[in-house]
Structure 1
Amino acid sequence: MTLGFLGSGAITEAIVTGLSTPGGPCHPIRLSPRNAAVAAGLAARFENVSVCPTNQAVVDVCDTIVLAVRPQVTPKVLSELHFAPTHTVISLVAGFSAVRIAGLVAPASAISRAIPLPSVAQRRSPIAVYPPKSAAAGLFAPLGQVFGIETEAHLNALSTATSTMAAYFGFMGHIASWVAGKGIPEPQARQYIALLFSGLASTGLEESGQSPADLAVAHSTPGGLNEQLLRHLTEHGVFDTLNDALEAVHRRASGMQPLPATSAKSE
């Protein structure tokens, strides 16, 4: 398989890194020139990676194409390209159904969707793929745990869940800054909070038989500090606000809401 990427942003960089570092499958990989710095950097790091002069050149020399461009520019980028019936297309474009992508890359008809996360670079990402037994499942199997999803509606729900990544770091950073404000050196505060949440994530995986509500109770001594903070956040509508935000993102992830305008900056 010769693998081509349309779009050379952060997620392409992470995928190529995971596939190309020692121990990976090291497919021949061809990159589009959309983000020249990232593409050139990857080509310099990995012998199996090279940069094509145009997007069409990527399509011409590759049998499997990964779409990793922004949703806002996807129709324009794909309208300028010519695909063949033999192409396999894996779309990472949020909010674009497989049917919509198929219409943009016809006559290619082998279409799948995937949601890889930046941790594919370390080969420890959860990766949702649709359909379950597709080219996307095979491609991402070495890069973490693949979750085969039966319906696009479920895939869109998981896509919505991934929108919490930046908020997670915002939450962690806010706590660390608050701690630093009490006089603790900020690097020490950040490391402490990062290890705190890392431990909680490990507990969530190890205790997968317990619900998050059960784990919350297990981590809340009656009348203790954890119980106080959780009650305060609940009573002040923090989780209601989170639910509202998820619903708003879900409308975009499901293609039910127009995409916001974007800058002309390439991925």
Structure 2
Amino acid sequence: MNIKSIGFVGTGVITEAMVRGLLAEPTYALEIHVSPRSAHIAETLAGEFAAVKIAKDNQDVVDRSDMVFLAIRPQIAEEVVRALSFTDGQMVVSVVAATERQALIDWVGANVRLVQANAYIAPLFASLAQKASGPSAEPFSTLSREFATRGGLNEQVLSDFGRKGGIAALTAALDGVLARIEGRSS
């Protein structure tokens, strides 16, 4: 599948991972338009990939894209999406967590082809796996912070998990499993 133009409303860590996955060979788009929300991420992507263009705003992303990904936090999704004008028949893919399909349809306000992320989330995981196993692999603690949207649900879970001793308990449990696999006593 090769789409002429894909756009991302919201330019956080999820968008960054998906763009990297979509532009890995074979590429899935000729152009990718990203919103300027997180300037550092948008500029990094545009600097690394000639296909990535930084839009002037979210409406510019929608106007320039055959397929639009909504990659925004659920807390701001309604406000952001309602402010946009979509074209009838445009493909819209939502990666917004914990949001009902009917709510998205109501907010979009046009007869779009709406898909919720299930079929398109693979590039995110491919990019994360690549980063975790690459030559300069970072520790899981760094990746988990990096791939959690600031103010998002993953960040909340990670914070609560660490504060309540979950990270220490999981580390001890996994060390025990490794010791068992290696034939050592834990």
Counterparts in 2 of 1:165 and 1:14: CA distance versus 1, 3 Å: farther
Check the 8 A contact 2:68/2:93 in 1, yes or no.
yes
- Equivalent residue in structure 2 for 1:174, among 158, 168, 173: 168
Q: Quote how far apart the aligned CAs of 1:163 are.
A: 9.2
Q: Distance in 1 between matches of 2:46 and 2:36?
A: 11
Given residue 174 of structure 1, which amino acid in structure 2 is its aligned partner?
Answer: A
- Equivalent residue in structure 2 for 1:119, among 125, 135, 151: 125
Aligned residues: 152
- Equivalent residue in structure 2 for 1:57, among 45, 60, 66: 60
Counterparts in 2 of 1:122 and 1:178: CA distance versus 1, 3 Å: closer
Structure 2 segments unaligned to the other structure (5+ residues): 131-152
The yes-or-no answer on 1:93 pairing with 2:87 is no
Given residue 100 of structure 2, which amino acid in structure 1 is its aligned partner?
Answer: S
Could you tell me which residue of structure 2 aligns to residue 205 of structure 1?
Answer: none
Check the 8 A contact 1:88/1:108 in 2, yes or no.
no
Given residue 35 of structure 2, which amino acid in structure 1 is its aligned partner?
Answer: S
Partner-residue secondary structure (3-state), 1:14: helix
Q: Quote how far apart the aligned CAs of 1:27 are.
A: 3.7
Given residue 125 of structure 2, which amino acid in structure 1 is its aligned partner?
Answer: S
Q: Quote how far apart the aligned CAs of 1:173 are.
A: 4.5
Counterparts in 2 of 1:120 and 1:178: CA distance versus 1, 3 Å: closer
Matches within 5 A, 1:177-216: 193=175, 196=178
Could you tell me which residue of structure 2 aligns to residue 6 of structure 1?
Answer: 9
Given residue 64 of structure 1, which amino acid in structure 2 is its aligned partner?
Answer: M
How high is the TM-score relative to the length of structure 2?
Answer: 0.67
Partner-residue secondary structure (3-state), 2:75: coil
Instruction: Report % sequence identity.
Output: 30
Greater relative contact order (CA < 8 Å, ≥ 6 in sequence)? 2
Counterparts in 2 of 1:173 and 1:34: CA distance versus 1, 3 Å: same
Structure of higher CA gyration radius: 1
The runs of 4+ residues in structure 1 deviating greater than 6 Å are 162-165, 176-179
Q: Distance in 1 between matches of 2:58 and 2:156?
A: 31
Q: Distance in 2 between matches of 1:41 and 1:6?
A: 16
Q: Quote how far apart the aligned CAs of 1:164 are.
A: 11
Could you tell me which residue of structure 2 aligns to residue 40 of structure 1?
Answer: 43
Could you tell me which residue of structure 2 aligns to residue 103 of structure 1?
Answer: 106
Deviations 1:108-164 (A, max 9, x none): 33111115374231578xxxxxxxxxxxxxxxxxxxxxxxxxxxxxxxxxxx9x899
Given residue 64 of structure 2, which amino acid in structure 1 is its aligned partner?
Answer: V
Q: Distance in 1 between matches of 2:155 and 2:40?
A: 26
How high is the TM-score relative to the length of structure 1?
Answer: 0.48
